[in-house]
Structure 1
Amino acid sequence: MFARFTDSARHAFVTAGVLALEAGHGRLGTDMLLLALAETRPFSLDSFTATAASLRERLELRDTRALLAGLGISLDDVRQRTLPGVGEWRLTRHRLRPLRVVLYGPRGEIALTGGARKVVEVALWRPGAVTGESLLWGLLADGGNGAARHLQGAGVNVRALVNEVRMPTRP
């Protein structure tokens, strides 16, 4: 499924998986995808003003950077050492259970929630390469996943963001 992803979109998606694994989540959800987009910024959107710290706070996720920094360990250095093989990660649909999509890699494997699977399907639905903007479009297309609410709570003008990524809207 990663065949059409740009390198930056693939990196963002793998980062989301690593964040979910680090947090001890059993599945990769839309909250981790949103946080990964804020951390990796695989796009140049002026309207995406949310920071990873503001979204972490909204999502009530602890920042492991502070814990590790107290021990003299840089989380960014650890991630750089463990993520160099982004190409070693793969996103696949289960052959017998087609609604099950799993991210496999050197750090482990994690199944996507239904919402995260929808993000991928919307991003793949658009013609051309899957970019960071495509992943963001997938997040914003499903009003039930809370991405727009979290972005708005982090100070993002969601209407301007929707216009900037050229999402179709209802009149």
Structure 2
Amino acid sequence: MFARFTAGARRAVVRAGILALDAGRPTLDADLMLLGVAEVRPFSLSSFTASEAEVRERVGVCDARALLATLGIDLDAVRRTTGSGADAPGSWRLRRSRVRPLRVTLYGPLGEIPLAMHARKVIEVAKWRPGPVTGERLLWGLLADHANGAARILRDTGVNLPELVREAGIPARRTA
């Protein structure tokens, strides 16, 4: 499923998966997908003003680096020596189950994690149109489903959502 993803979009999804595995979550949810996008920033949208720290605070995932630094442990150094290349996007795969077509799982050197319904929708919306899946398309997937809470998190961080939608080129919602 990663075949059409740009390098940045793929890094954002992989980062979200690593965050979910590190947090011990049973599934990769849309809130962590938003955090992955905020960390990687696979686009150059000036209206995406939410910082990684602001999104992390609202998602409720602690920063392992800061926590371990208080104990004198450098998490980056530990990862370099124990799991070199584990976060390389090329070593991760996103696959749909043949038996259960609604089940999409992210597989990588650190483990595997199924995508929750809302995170799967992000990927499906991002892949909906032909062409490469970019960071803007991931953002479109995050904002297309109001039930996943991404728009609320961005609004709470002070992001001007109408401006972000316009700048990202996200298709306007049609009303009946």
Q: TM-score, normalised by structure 1?
A: 0.94
Alpha-carbon distance in structure 1 between the residues aligned to 2:93 and 2:128? 19
Q: Which amino acid in 1 is paired with 2:147? A: G
Deviates more, 1:70-79 or 1:95-104: 70-79
The answer on whether the counterparts of 2:15 and 2:87 sit within 8 Å (CA) in structure 1 is: no
- Note the 1:114-125 alignment, pairs <5 A: 114-125=117-128
Query: How far apart are residue 61 of structure 1 and its match?
Result: 2.0
Q: CA deviation at 1:21?
A: 0.3
What residue in structure 1 maps to residue 11 of structure 2? 11
Aligned residues: 171
> Percent same amino acid at aligned positions?
61
Residues 23-62 of structure 1: CA deviation (Å, up to 9, x unaligned): 1100001000000111111110001000111011112222
Shift of 1:88: 1.2
Change (3 A) 1:77 1:162: farther
Other-structure match for 1:138: 141
| Structure 2 gap segments, 5+ residues each | none
Q: Partner residue of 2:32? A: 32
Which of 151, 155, 175 in structure 2 is aligned with 1:152? Answer: 155
Which of 100, 106, 111 is 2:109 aligned to? 106
User: What is the root-mean-square deviation of aligned Cα atoms in Å?
Assistant: 1.5
Task: With the length of structure 2 as denominator, give the TM-score of the two structures.
Answer: 0.91
- 1:23 paired residue number: 23
Give 1:166 deviation, angstroms. Answer: 1.1
Aligned to 1:129: 132
Aligned residues of 1:126 and 1:134 also touching (Cα < 8 A): no
Question: Where do 5+ consecutive residues of structure 1 fail to align?
Answer: none
CA gap of 1:137–1:109, structure 2 versus 1, over 3 A, is same
1:94 aligns with 2:84: no
